[in-house]
């Protein structure tokens, strides 16, 4: 019998599916396919991984990178224009921060920082899990996260309007 039952699979998909898609988006323009393949690979496991969520992130990362290489080869051969993925942020009426600007700022970060921020904020992974995922130390994962947040703050910072003193 498969150790990953339908209830656990549904819970994992509901709780982590959207964040995994966002995470996969960093490498390819078909992140839903990458996440679906990761869940299919999970179902085929003889034994459930110890840390299922971190395992899913690793599989998504590896498949996303592989998909990215495949897409690059295909684009070179077909000379096709790349498709744009979904934004990291969705606009809301009361947002002081422009979603498109925030998405661009996140896209401009080095992949190591962006990957760490997405895994931490949207994926809810611990720094220990991120370190395992990125094959770095916990302190390196934390430094990348802090550096990425600092870079985002600098790019997105709006100076406060000055009051007219009269």
Mean pLDDT for the chain overall: 83
Instruction: Mark whether 98 and 39 lie in a shared domain.
Output: no
Domain termination site, one of 43, 64, 83: 83
pLDDT in tens, 27-75: 888 999 999 999 999 999 988 898 999 999 999 999 999 988 887 777 7
Q: What are the angstrom distances between the C-alpha of 58 and each of 23, 80, 86, 108? A: 10, 29, 21, 23
pLDDT in tens, 122-158: 899 999 999 999 999 999 999 999 999 999 998 888 5
For residue 101, give its domain range.
94-157
Structure tokens at 163: 């009051």
Q: Within a domain: residue 88?
A: no
Domain count, the chain: 2
pLDDT in tens, 85-102: 555 555 555 555 677 788
Instruction: Mark whether 67 and 105 lie in a shared domain.
Output: no
Q: Return the pLDDT at 103.
A: 83
Domain termination site, one of 83, 102, 117: 83
Q: Within a domain: residue 163?
A: no
Instruction: Mark whether 114 and 139 lie in a shared domain.
Output: yes
Domain termination site, one of 83, 110, 135: 83
């Amino acid at each position: 019998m498969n150790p990953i039952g339908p209830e656990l699979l549904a819970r994992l998909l509901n709780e982590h599916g959207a964040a995994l898609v966002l995470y996969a988006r960093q490498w390819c323009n078909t992140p839903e396919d990458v996440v679906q393949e990761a869940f299919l690979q999970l179902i085929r496991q003889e034994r459930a991984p110890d840390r299922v969520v971190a395992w899913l992130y690793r599989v998504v990362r590896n498949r996303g990178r592989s998909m990215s290489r495949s897409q690059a080869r295909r684009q070179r051969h077909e000379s096709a224009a790349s498709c744009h993925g979904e934004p990291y942020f969705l606009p809301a009426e009361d947002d002081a921060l422009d979603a498109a600007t925030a998405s661009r700022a996140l896209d401009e970060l080095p992949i190591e920082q962006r990957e760490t921020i997405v895994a931490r904020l949207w994926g809810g992974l611990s720094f220990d899990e991120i370190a395992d995922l990125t094959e770095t130390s916990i302190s390196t994962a934390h430094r990348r996260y802090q550096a990425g947040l600092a870079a985002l703050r600098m790019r997105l910072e709006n100076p406060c309007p000055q009051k007219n003193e009269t």
